[in-house]
Amino acid sequence: MLICKWLNRKRLLNLTIEQIANLTGLGYRTVARFFSGEDVKLSTVEKITNLLGLDFAGNEIVSTKKLLEKRAKQKALEIVSLVQDTSSLEEQGLDNKRLKDLLEFTKKASRDLSFPYFVLFDEMNLARIEYYFADFLSILESTRDSEGFTNQAIQLHNSSSDNLKRQKIPKELKLPPNLYFVGSVNIDDTTHVISPKVLDRAFTIEFSAKSFKYYADFLSEDRTIVKRTISTEFQKKLRRDFINDHIYCQTIKDEEFVKYARIFANDLNHINRLLPEDLKFGYRVFDEVINFILNSEVSIYQLDINQAFDLAIKMKVLPKIHGTRDKLEDTFEHFIDFADSRNLFLTKEKIKMMQHSLLTRGYCSFI
């Protein structure tokens, strides 16, 4: 009965589980557990019921009308804050060493296009990625010049202060083609859900503990020997993979691209038809799947096109899938049949793991 009151209130306020997670600062899974009637912390119940305008017994303490008005006002403030120029480096603490290191590293990559450069972010989703990384996400999608630099630039500041001049901080920064961003994320009650905007623009690589025996063996090895086993030739080949004839990760829609686009168009169309309306993907994901297959063929790992397609679906399509049993049960059954018919072993394995979570807990997500 109490769950019915919570669910009805959620419906009246037109809130999704993801929105409630974002507004309360709780994890998506925690909120889903709450609405499925599972045991959660008392603080979780308090946060969600406060948001819904209810007490612990499900009685109304704030009217639906007032809550809707409050939410409309919050949305307006969010839009204003996004439009206003709040990204001034001076406001955000220009003396921060890590910020200056990042700028210097980016400028170094710009001067040396013969090597790939990697920026590593740890636990990216402790804050909302789509907020603090918004400028990068937008600029990375801009067109490129003949050298591969973004035509659009990140606006760093609009100041003529002596402090900025002394530190040689440019007013704007174009991103070079050889700069790669890699980030780790954790999913728990302290982190934020990764938005579709971010997932659409990234490949998700999942790491999990496979064998503690291999880990123990690794710890006992001599690190100097491990380093020597990475041959100079392998390092050269790996670097060549990332440089990719100075194309890097750009999508070049030439004859070869069109050829593979035609080969996989029907399969990708079929996958899209299997997905619920709010989880379907568009041209960006299509392009990156085809680009991944093309690059995999000439990689040092030399994957065949079916292996590459399998990996691409797991890393580009599956991470966006999340929801309840009503929403996904049939989708997973059809997806497994499709994966079987195309020998997509990695995709099938991951879907079956997600399906198990769906059937036992009533909801699932990629991570």
Angle at 302 between CA 301 and CA 306, to 5 degrees: 115
pLDDT, tens only, 303-350: 889 999 999 999 999 999 999 999 999 999 999 999 999 999 999 999
pLDDT for the residue 86: 38
Q: Residue ranges per domain, the chain?
A: 2-83, 97-199, 212-365
Question: How high is the pLDDT of residue 312?
Answer: 96
Q: How far apart are CA 288 and CA 249, in angstroms?
A: 9
Q: What is the pLDDT of residue 34?
A: 87
Angstrom distance (rounded) from CA 348 to CA 313:
10
pTM of the full structure: 0.69
Q: Which CATH number fits domain 2-83: 1.25.40, 1.10.3470, 1.10.8, 1.10.260?
A: 1.10.260
Question: What's the one-letter identity of residue 75?
Answer: K
CA distances from 229 to 215, 222, 223, 226, 232 (A): 18, 11, 10, 5, 9
pLDDT block averages, 10 residues each, the chain of length 367: 81 82 81 85 86 84 78 50 40 56 88 90 84 80 84 78 71 88 82 84 84 78 57 77 77 89 96 94 93 86 90 95 92 96 95 94 87
First to last CA, the chain: 31
Angle, CA 26 vertex, CA 321 and CA 316 arms, to 5°:
20
